[in-house]
Structure 1
Amino acid sequence: MSTAENPAPAGRSWTRRLLPWAIVGAWVVLLLVAFPLAGKLEGVKTDSLDAHLPANAESTKVVKLEAELPGGEGNEFVVVYEREGGTTQADLAVATRHAAALHEKFGEKDTGREAPKVKPSKDGEALMLSMPVGVAHGEPSDYADELRETISSPPDGLEVTLSGPGGLEADSDAAFENIDANLFMFTAAVVAILLILTYRSPTLWLLPLVAAGAAVLLSQALVYLLADLFDITVSDTNSAIMIILVFGVATDYALLLVARYREELRTHAAPADAMLAALRRSAPAILASSGTVIAGLLCLLVADMNSTSGLGPIGAAGIVSSLVAMLTLLPAMLVLAGRRVLWPRAPRFGDPAPEKATVWTRLGGLISRRPVFVMATSAAVLGALSLGLLGNTTALRQVEQFVNKPESVVGYDKLVEHYPELGGQPLYLIGSETEAEALLDKATATEGIGHAVLNRSGSGYTEINAFSKFPPGTPEEQDTIDRLRDAVRTVDDTALVGGPSAQHLDTLRNTSDDEKRVIPLVLITVMLILGLLLRSITASVVLILTVVLSFAAAYGASVLVYEHLLGFPGLDPSLVMLGFLFLVSLGVDYNIFLMHRAREETAKLGTRAGTLRSLSATGGVITSAGVVLAATFAMLTTLPVVFAVQVGFLVGFGVMLDALLVRTMLTPSCVMVLGRRFWWPDRLSRDETAPAPEEKRELAGSSSRG
């Protein structure tokens, strides 16, 4: 019976009236506590390469040993002077004055280091000086402008460029300046526009947006606490991904909940009763969806790379915040707002369900008539897109991480051009102080090393700067690093080689190892969750295969776009692992939404009819959810770093592929081809329910309309 015919007892009625207010009040208190904690997140972020690498990486050990040397750990800046036609004595005098001024402002006097020497290039067109700056001066971004001011106002025709590892880090920090606030505002605006277009309501869009914003704030507070308590690595990139993830996933859950709430308002007089019914019917799918993404993210904890393993709990905190907000705050606000918030399409109590044909019923009719053809065609399209994997999949070099070349990368190009014997940036060799001369001789004699010089000694250690003949990040430089590591350990078995290029090499190798651990674990975890939710081994295997094929297609298409449209010289080393994680866990989400409803309908109507009913009922909301999630990830493409652009495009395109092709055509056609066997070994695979008479009429109508 309806709520109108059976009114709730007085005590229960009061409880239902007060509960939404209590939930909103609790959220207000929670956000007041979370706000100052979220504001502290910026202070625990780091984007230095050594913070991202595992503690056992050789280049990470070098960073720790540098702290024990006189002057401590520092950042190496390189100033490049270039004049077309050749530098002059006046240019040399300017560079020498700059070296003295830099040493006066930033030099470590207690180390005994003299002012940096100006080194002319062999072609006579450039000068360079290398300036180490200690950590006492802060992060490179804190003083980069002061460095530039010190070397400003060169003579006409002399170009001065600030480069080196320190310059690269300063430019990287500048690229992410205020990124969280800007990304929050831009993403919120995009989500608001999409919600307005989806709901076509002047008010309804605001409630999911407020709930999503609250989830972002809560997640930032949680991440700060995780970083403070457990010392996880929080990078600007990970923080940006979390904001995108929270907005996208939270909005997806909101769309699913509101769609079910609309249905229940036709059969319940009181909005509170309709919301309880909507939560009972949609919460299992939302919980399974969030559980899949959380479990997938937590698989990253097995990664050695600190930045990768840090993304696991950071992303999980975002998903948990989204889940709690969309299952508590949003329902409470919807109930308090009443039916009027759905105007002008507010369902009335007693209204029949709409019976008009939709694109989803017509699509269902097509799939029902020719399931094998639809399945084969969909798989063929995905297979064709996967051929893009034959394109350029080489790893990006460190100096190729920016969409547009900043000053530091321009400086590297000049160093490579005018100082080919130096490669572009130094390798830092640290060994026993008693073996300093022998280590210097061994480094100088190593194949691929163009120049080596003693830098400093103390506390039992010596540091040598060795310059490869090859540009940073090239295979030739990487081979040189391996040879240098092997060579110096024949003199001192404790000697280590680090520096930015060595860190990049260690990043590539550790990321490759992480892929071998994380990807299989994600597959197994997601498959287990699907099996538990759908109670079917066959269903979980089929759905996993569809999303893996979808990932291959999205990745292949993305490679073609990166190479031929955007002109990127390669792929970020972590793109495969993170792209796989997001597309498998998020792609499975839409299959969960579809097949959870299909299971519910199959119990009443049978596999074929139940799948068609599910496709018709969920088609619009899942497509809207896919568009919103794809659009939010696409916001990453606005950032000035290649990694963000590549992740944003790959996940955005892959989500649309899942929502528009895999979930709408490939998955339903696979179910219809397999029939009741899709549910094996669940009882649905043995007890096939025949379609009800009204369902037969509906199927016949959809087929004729198709």
Structure 2
Amino acid sequence: MFGRVGRFCVNRPWLTIVAWIVAAIALSALAPSLKPTDDQADFLPSHYQSVQAAKLQEKAFPQRDQPAAIIVFQRSDGGKLTASDKEAVGKVAKNLQDQKYSKIKQVLSDPAAVSADGTIALANILADTKNVYDEDVVDSVKQMRADAKSPLGGTALKMGITGSAATALDSRESSGDTDAMIMMATLVLIIVLLGVIFRSPLIAFLPVLTILVVFTVANGLIATASELGGLKADQSVSALLIVVLFGVGTDYILFLLFRYREALRAGEQPKNALVNAVSSVGETIASAAGAVIVAFLALLLSTMGSMRSLGPSLAIAVAVTLVAALTLVPAVFSLLGTKAFWPSKSWQKQPKNTTANRIGSLVSRRPAAVAAVSAGVLAVLAVGVFGFKAEFDSESSLPKDLESVQAMEVLQKGFAAGGADPTLVYLEAKDGGKLEKPELKAFHDALVGVQGVGQVSEAVPSPKGDVAQFSVVLKYRPAEDKAISLVSGPLRDAVDEAAPEGSKALVGGTTAVLADIETAVNHDYKLVFPVAGVAIMVILGLLLRSVVAPLYLMVSVGLGFAATLGSTVWLFQGAQGEKGLLFMLPVIVYLFVVAIGTDYNILMVARLREEVRKGTPPREAVRLAVAQSVPTISAAAVILAGTFGVLMLADNSMLQQMGFAVSFGILLTAFIMALLLVPTLTTLLGEKAWWPGHQAPDAAEPTGTFREPGDRAVSGSASR
């Protein structure tokens, strides 16, 4: 099949290229825009209590104003606010109120909203929509920041706006800068590394131009699928999409180009060499892409909407990249022929590959020692995984110079840490009954008695009198561990116990959402990991026609996963003193390192199988396979790790964690697992590694495989 695809695209290059360009233009013009969201509540299913509380709020208090942001005032000299300062606070709030911003209901300043030490005053910004992350609300907050400068002039005050909408604004704007930086750094990195590897400006730029076309097509398909499927994209999807497309795309292009160059060096004509390259490496690329795709699609089993949307999005991107690698790339290089390598002449010469041959010889001569050392290194790094601590506070990862972050720090000096975003508790009478005042008073007193609760508002009854809302201000920041533990445990237990007979109580708000996300993530760890692992094993089994090889490959990859996460724990929690790591990091590392990193294992084992089928003795087959694979795997891993490593340039600490973990994990997978551990284990197992496929290699051999003159395919037993 891959030979037929290769022949079609190589012999009809213009038709293939025009078809891709038309698809890119059409999708760019017609596809809806991809609209990411910051609201984590969008990502939880309806059976979680925080989602039920939000629905109850919408039903019982449909017109109730929603706190969107807080204006924090203080004197420039840090002193106590004077009477004229407090008057100026009121004037600023009134001036903003008179501006009539989109979806902003009120800007209120309360003379009583002054800190106990008299140094900080607050004004509340209330939205007339439940969704405080609404684009209009966020844009209105941005405009308020600019408009407040004029009435504040001439006073001794300075101010900052914080809270949910302000944080979303700063996150959006810093993310936009990050995406542009990541795109530029990724392009420069790929161009420079490809130029160094092939010494050709055309090969340095052509893959980048090709992937830009693929990026346009994939982005359009993802946006269309999100629109039709009602999926909500997480804010991080755009940054991940960039590195996945450019990283994986460059990998697949390198797999093809190295095999194409190998065929040219053996004397093949350019077009025939290109067809043979597609035929030889097509199954490997398809299997590698298939492993990544099924791993991403395993996220559909997640209870987290962000994961369920991220999985299909990245799966679509990898599928488009696979098709492009087998069609668009051969078509482009068919037009160029050997001119693609200009001005370098190295494609005409067999390289000495001294280092690669030494590695191959070491692996084949001392398999037990190399396996023990490489496994030992991974095991030592894996010890750090036991110290992993999940961090749910996304705001803590934002750059410290953002206005929302700085204003929040000022607010917390004078008010309860949870004051900016109170937890909301709802009490609902069942069967159409009404709540009585004594019941509400007793319930209120029970909430006040919970350790860790700072303040509890008086009950706010709904118009029908069947629901009451209590605003609970915690002593901790809404997203920190103590707040999440308090809400998920003691507070929810207390409201359940204090709810009068014939009523039910629900805890909602940001902290409750994060508590439910923690529960959902723990569920996903237990479900998504095994499903993705089994799916990848099935693909490996189909590729290798073996039951044994996929087992030890996945064990080695699992060890690599633990080593990657352990190294990240030691660096960020140990060396840098972070309180925890991004709560999604284990899922991301598992999927990116296990799925994408498996590409190199697949390439190595497929090459081993090819050498065995030629009748090469087992140890010599290992030596040749390793020596031939070192240049390809090394180049691909450095580029792929580099593209993910670019995320470490971001100001966001969670993107830095993600960048380090994935890039370091890919390097571990390539240089320790694929080039050392996997071939040595294969050597030690001998023909058992291929069971039962070694019994009939000719039937399983892909058509169009490039062979040296005199090569023959024989069974594993004959090659011994």
TM-score range, shorter chain: 0.7 to 0.9
**1:234 correspondence with 2:217:** no
Closer, same or farther: CA 443–647 of 1 in aligned 2, 3 Å: farther
AA at the equivalent of 2:350: P
Is residue 608 of structure 1 aligned with residue 619 of structure 2? yes
Instruction: Answer whether contact 2:446 2:494 (CA < 8 A) is retained.
Output: no
Would the aligned equivalents of 2:16 and 2:331 in 1 still touch at CA under 8 Å?
Answer: yes
- Aligned partner of 2:642 in structure 1 is 631
Identify if the C-alpha distance between structure 1 residues 30 and 524 changes in structure 2 by more than 3 Å, giving closer, same or farther. same
2:96·2:107 contact (CA, 8 Å) conserved in 1? no
Deviation by residue 1:291-311 (Cα, 9 ceiling, x = unmatched): 000000000000010001111
Does the residue aligned with 2:610 lie in a helix, a strand or coil?
A: helix
Contact 1:443 1:449 in 2 (8 A): no
Give the match for residue 95 of structure 1: 89
Please report how far the alpha carbon of residue 77 of structure 1 lies from its aligned counterpart in structure 2 after TM superposition.
Answer: 1.2
Match in the other structure for 2:3: none
User: Are the counterparts in 1 of residues 199 and 341 from structure 2 also a CA contact under 8 Å?
Assistant: no
Give unmatched runs, 5+ long, in structure 2. Answer: 1-5, 699-707, 712-720
**Cα distance in 1 for residues equivalent to 2:267 and 2:20:** 27
Instruction: Find the residue that maps to 1:124 and give its secondary structure.
Output: coil
1:568 aligned onto 2:578: yes
SS in 2 for 1:531: helix
In structure 2, the partner of 1:60 is 51
SS of structure 1 residue aligned to 2:122:
strand
Shift of 1:167: 2.1
Matched, 1:464 2:470: yes
Output one character per residue of 1:19-49: Cα deviation in whole Å (capped at 9) or x when no partner: 11111111121111122246x424x221222
TM-score under structure 1 normalisation?
A: 0.88
SS of residue paired to 2:160: strand
Aligned to 2:492: 485
* Residue 273 to residue 534, structure 1, CA distance change in 2 (3 Å): same
Contact 1:264–1:278 (Cα < 8 Å) also in 2:
yes
Distance in 1 separating the partners of 2:127 and 2:546: 61
Question: Which residue does the alignment assign to 1:329?
Answer: 328
Does structure 2 retain, via aligned residues, the 8 Å contact 1:443–1:484?
no
The 1:405–1:232 alpha-carbon spacing in structure 2 relative to 1, beyond 3 Å, is same
CA RMSD of aligned residues (A): 3.1
1:410–1:102 Cα change, 3 Å: same
Q: What's the CA shift for 1:113?
A: 10
Query: Aligned partners of 2:587, 2:544: CA distance in 1, in Å?
Result: 27
Change (3 A) 1:250 1:686: closer
Letter in 2 for 1:381: V
**Which residue matches 2:25?**
32
Deviates most, 589-598 or 132-141? 132-141
Deviations 1:632-674 (A, max 9, x none): 1112223332322211110001101111221111112212222
Distance 1:445 1:61, change over 3 A: same
Q: In the alignment, is the contact (CA less than 8 A) between 1:91 and 1:155 conserved in 2?
A: no
Does 2:508 match 1:498?
yes
Taking a change above 3 Å as real, the CA distance of residues 684 and 407 of structure 1, as seen in their structure-2 partners, is: farther
Q: Which residue of 2 aligns with 1:662?
A: 673
Alpha-carbon offset, residue 112 of structure 1: 10
Number of the residue aligned with 2:718: none
What does the per-residue CA deviation read over 1:615-636, in whole Å, with 9 as the maximum and x for residues that have no partner? 1111101110001110111122
Given the superposition, is the C-alpha separation of residues 154 and 494 from structure 1 closer, same or farther in structure 2, using an over 3 Å criterion? farther
Q: Pick from 406, 413, 417: which aligns with 2:409?
A: 413
The alignment partner of 2:424 has SS state of strand
Is the counterpart of residue 451 in structure 1 residue 450 in structure 2?
no
Q: Secondary structure at the match of 2:581?
A: coil
Corresponding residue of 1:5: none
Could you say what secondary structure the match of 1:205 adopts? helix
Return closer, same or farther for 1:580/1:269 CA change in 2, 3 Å cut-off: closer
The residue number in structure 2 matching 1:4 is none
2:564 is the alignment partner of 1:554:
yes
Distance in 2 of aligned mates of 1:382 and 1:18: 47
Q: Of 530, 536, 560, which aligns to 1:526?
A: 536
Aligned length, in residue pairs = 674
Residue matched to 2:702: none
- Most deviating of 644-653 and 105-114: 105-114
Equivalent position amino acid for 2:453 in 1: I
SS of the residue aligned with 1:176? helix
Deviation at 1:444, TM superposition (A): 4.9
Q: For residues 546 and 480 of structure 1, do their structure 2 counterparts lie closer, same or farther at Cα, with a shift above 3 Å needed?
A: closer
Is it true that 1:131 corresponds to 2:125 in the alignment? yes
Aligned to 1:395: 391
Q: Once the 2 structures are TM-superposed, how far is the Cα of residue 381 of structure 1 from its aligned partner?
A: 1.2
- The residue number in structure 1 matching 2:314 is 315
Q: Which amino acid aligns with 2:435?
A: E
Q: Show the 5 A alignment for 1:51-200.
A: 51-68=42-59, 69-71=61-63, 74-83=66-75, 84-105=78-99, 116=110, 118-135=112-129, 138-152=135-149, 153=152, 158-177=157-176, 180-200=179-199
1:360, distance to aligned residue in structure 2 (A) = 1.1
Identical pairs, percent: 29
Tell me, in whole angstroms, the C-alpha distance in 2 between the residues paired with 1:113 and 1:255. Answer: 58
2:424 aligned to 414, 428, 446, which one? 428
**CA 1:127–1:111 in 2, change beyond 3 Å: closer, same or farther?**
closer
Question: Residue 285 of structure 1 aligns to which amino acid in structure 2?
Answer: T
TM-score by length of 2: 0.86
Q: Secondary structure at the match of 1:536?
A: coil
Check the 8 A contact 2:364/2:622 in 1, yes or no: no
Q: Deviation at 1:388?
A: 2.4
CA contact (8 A) 1:75 1:166 kept: no
Decide whether aligned partners of structure 1 residues 636 and 90 sit closer, same or farther in structure 2, where only a CA change above 3 A counts. same
Aligned residue identity for 1:298: L
Question: Which residue number in structure 1 is paired with residue 716 of structure 2?
Answer: none
Alignment correspondent of 2:219: 220
Shift in alpha-carbon separation, 1:561–1:480, aligned structure 2, 3 A: closer
Shift of 1:441: 5.3
> Are the counterparts in 2 of residues 536 and 682 from structure 1 also a CA contact under 8 Å?
yes
SS of the aligned residue for 1:373 comes to: helix
Whether the 8 Å contact between 1:34 and 1:221 is mirrored in structure 2 is yes
Q: Distance in 1 between matches of 2:337 and 2:418?
A: 70
CA distance in 2, matches of 1:159, 1:508: 37
* 1:23 match: 16
SS of match in other structure, 2:454? strand
Alignment map for 1:244-283 (pairs within 5 Å): 244-267=243-266, 269-283=268-282
CA contact (8 A) 2:248 2:640 kept: yes
Find the aligned partners of 2:411 and 2:106 in 1 and give their Cα distance.
27
Amino acid at match of 2:370: V
On the 8 A contact 2:202/2:340 being kept in 1, the answer is yes
Tell me which residue corresponds to 1:682. 693
Task: Give the whole-Å Cα distance in 1 for the aligned partners of 2:196 and 2:436.
Answer: 69
Deviates more, 1:571-580 or 1:264-273: 264-273
* Maintained 8 Å contact 1:37/1:224: no
Q: Using the alignment, how far apart are the partners of 1:17 and 1:241 within structure 2?
A: 32
Counterpart of 2:19, as a letter, is A
Secondary structure of the corresponding residue to residue 338 of structure 1: helix
Q: Secondary structure at the match of 2:68?
A: strand
Q: Distance in 2 between matches of 1:72 and 1:342?
A: 67
State how 1:335-374 maps to structure 2 within 5 Å. 335-345=334-344, 354=350, 356-374=352-370
Contact 2:70 2:123 in 1 (8 A): yes
